[in-house]
Amino acid sequence: MFDQLLINLSFLADKPTGHTVYAKNLLPGLRSLNPILLTSQSFPDHRCYSIPDNLTPDQGSKGHLSRLLWTQLKLPNLYKKLKASLLFSPIPEAPLFTNLRYVVTLHDLIPLRFPRASSPLTPYFKYYVPQVLSQAEQIICDSEATATDAINFFDISVKKTTVIPLAYDADHFRCLDLPTRNYFLYLGRHDAYKNLQRVIKAFSKLPNHSSYELWIAGPSDQRHTPILVNQIASLGLTEQVKFLSYVPYDELPIVLNQAIALVFPSLWEGFGLPILEAMACGTPVITSNLSSMPEVTGEAALLVDPYNVGAIADALRQVSSDSNLRTHLRQLSLDRASQFSWAKTADATATILKQFL
């Protein structure tokens, strides 16, 4: 019989974010530890303790601030009340300067690699996150790249980090044997580090780009999207570049399956879930040759220098003009994706948690 484990799910959003997808897919594999979930949502197969429902990204900056205050002021009392011996937080948040024992997951340190003076994430990652990590019993990282960042940015001991890759829903993201259509797909936010300006410029350099479309799927952002819209207009691509905004989860497999390729040459990723989801659909992937992305793809993608527009354009040309290459990448992608599963991720996470219970 293990001591009592609490899992902090105060951040779970109604619209699935990467963090929400990660946490919810871990839960079935952690059931054997009989945890108590701190959550405002319903999980019938688990023991739950109800907490406020205004602590999530759905409430914007106010939700984040409310959650940090709740974490510091209320969570320690719940830890004592529920007679816990360990807290697991699937994001790098935990009460500071208390005697709570906790394990956290660190997904990336992108706000430190690409800081924005006006962003509240910069001080959050500069001052709060390193203190959380220093007091943690163990830090689970999505990739070797993220673990290396934790070690280099914060002087964290190698022994204190454990790399456990993410996964995908194999029942959802799979090959549907649909005909390929004439579009390249980008999936994600419009932040500058996502490198969309170079993707658009590379698309414009395709010799026959008028025969293709570039679909940009992901929520618009008033800080970044207008820059992209202006660039598209200046290059005369308004009819060919489509903004899909938020694509419902149920529709994603179809959009991925019918793309010529997923184009994802981000400047940095903690993992890169869209890459894995595309590979699970058998969709060729063009992505970056740095940070975590080669860890995810192995040899199953076209890896490019994300700072080199010509290299991105050449990869677009290759995959659009060579059907044999697409077939080859499709098989490599399916084989590679089959090596990842949420069951493996959860089992590895449970093993770590057991060590500290």
Task: Give residue 247's pLDDT.
Answer: 87
The CATH number of the domain covering residues in 5-167+341-356? 3.40.50.2000
Q: Does residue 136 contact residue 104 with C-beta atoms inside 8 Å?
A: yes
CATH of 183-337, one of 3.60.20.10, 3.40.50.2000, 3.20.20.190, 3.30.360.10: 3.40.50.2000
Integer Cα distance of 349 and 340 in angstroms: 14
Do the domains spanning 5-167+341-356 and 183-337 agree at the CATH topology level? yes
Task: Give residue 15's pLDDT.
Answer: 73
Q: Does residue 102 contact residue 139 with C-beta atoms inside 8 Å?
A: no
Ranges of each domain in the chain? 5-167+341-356, 183-337
By the 10 Å C-beta count (0-12 exposed, 13-18 middle, 19+ buried), 260 is classed as: buried
- φ, ψ of residue 69 in degrees (nearest 5): -65, -45
At how many degrees (to 10) do helices 323-337 and 273-280 cross? Answer: 110
pLDDT tens across the length of the chain (357 residues) = 458 999 999 999 887 778 999 999 999 999 999 999 999 999 999 999 999 999 998 898 899 999 999 999 999 999 999 999 999 999 999 999 999 999 999 999 999 999 988 888 899 999 999 999 999 999 999 999 999 999 999 999 999 999 999 999 999 999 999 999 999 999 999 999 999 999 999 999 998 999 999 999 998 999 999 999 999 999 999 999 999 988 888 999 999 999 999 999 999 999 999 999 999 999 999 999 999 999 999 999 999 999 999 999 999 999 999 999 999 999 999 999 999 999 999 999 999 999 999
Question: Closest by alpha carbon to 100, among 115, 116, 118, 82?
Answer: 82
Give the CA distances from residue 107 to residues 121, 148, 161, 350, in Å, rounded to whole numbers and listed in that order: 14, 12, 12, 18
Please tell me whether residue 283 adopts helix, strand or coil conformation.
Answer: coil
Integer Cα distance of 33 and 27 in angstroms: 10
Give the CA distances from residue 32 to residues 287, 353, 357, in Å, rounded to whole numbers and listed in that order: 37, 11, 13
Task: Give residue 167's pLDDT.
Answer: 97
Task: Give residue 1's pLDDT.
Answer: 47
